């Protein structure tokens, strides 16, 4: 994590730098994958401004606070940054938990409702011409179907070619 502290129209006192380093070290466990932190301290007439730009892997946070004292505005900005980091972390955890804990449960159908019986749908892509197993594999890949039924030339029997879950082909010979 790279920390850059910049003072504009103000002097950077050693105690301010020490407070900034100490508080950022405390917040380090909330930050996660932070790549860059920029602390900008700006002094004007009656107003001292502290800006913290935090750039992380997932996005960017910006916090700005004003007060009459530079140390007070820095502490307010670090408090606001801590609140924002906790809020973002809780949102991330809630999102992560939502996806992991939701389980689909099988529920029984209502008593008055009857499930329709499965329908039988006729297919018309059965090959009537005899072919070898190698030719059937080529035809199977060209058509991109789940199952191919064909007659073998060797035994003149019907055979079924299908794709297995492991990516290989399965062959059933029907006698």
**pLDDT tier, 99 (very low <50, low <70, confident <90, very high otherwise):** low
Please tell me whether residues 136 and 59 are part of one structural domain: no
> Which CATH number does the domain housing residue 148 bear?
3.30.505.50
- In the predicted model, is pLDDT for residue 127 greater than 60? no
The number of distinct structural domains making up the chain is: 2
Between CA 140 and CA 146, with CA 141 as vertex, the angle to 5 degrees is 60
Chain-wide mean pLDDT for the chain? 83
User: So what's the pLDDT on residue 110?
Assistant: 64
**pLDDT tier, 101 (very low <50, low <70, confident <90, very high otherwise):** low
Look at residue 64 and tell me if it is in a domain.
yes
Please tell me whether residues 7 and 88 are part of one structural domain: yes
Look at residue 118 and tell me if it is in a domain.
no
User: So what's the pLDDT on residue 50?
Assistant: 95
**pLDDT tier, 16 (very low <50, low <70, confident <90, very high otherwise):** very high
Look at residue 56 and tell me if it is in a domain.
yes
User: So what's the pLDDT on residue 83?
Assistant: 93
Please tell me whether residues 151 and 77 are part of one structural domain: no
Cβ-defined contacts of 135-138 (< 8 Å, 24+): 136/161, 137/161, 137/169
Closest CA to 131 of 163, 160, 148, 154: 154
Domain that holds residue 16: 2-94
- In the predicted model, is pLDDT for residue 19 greater than 70? yes
């Amino acid at each position: 994590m790279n920390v850059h502290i910049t003072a504009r129209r103000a002097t950077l006192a050693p105690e301010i730098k020490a407070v900034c380093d100490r508080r950022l070290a405390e917040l380090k466990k909330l930050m996660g994958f932070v790549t860059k932190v920029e602390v900008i301290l700006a002094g004007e007439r009656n107003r001292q401004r502290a800006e913290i730009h935090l750039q992380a892997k997932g996005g960017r946070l910006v916090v700005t606070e004003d007060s009459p004292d530079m140390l007070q505005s820095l502490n307010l900005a670090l408090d606001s940054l801590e609140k924002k980091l906790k809020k973002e972390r809780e949102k991330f955890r809630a999102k992560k938990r939502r996806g992991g804990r939701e389980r689909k449960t099988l529920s029984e159908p209502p008593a008055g409702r009857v499930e329709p019986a499965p329908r039988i749908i006729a297919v018309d892509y059965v090959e009537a011409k005899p072919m070898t197993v190698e030719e059937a594999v080529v035809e199977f890949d060209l058509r991109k179907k789940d199952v191919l039924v064909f007659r073998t030339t060797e035994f003149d029997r019907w055979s079924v070619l299908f794709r297995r879950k492991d990516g290989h082909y399965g062959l059933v010979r029907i006698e």
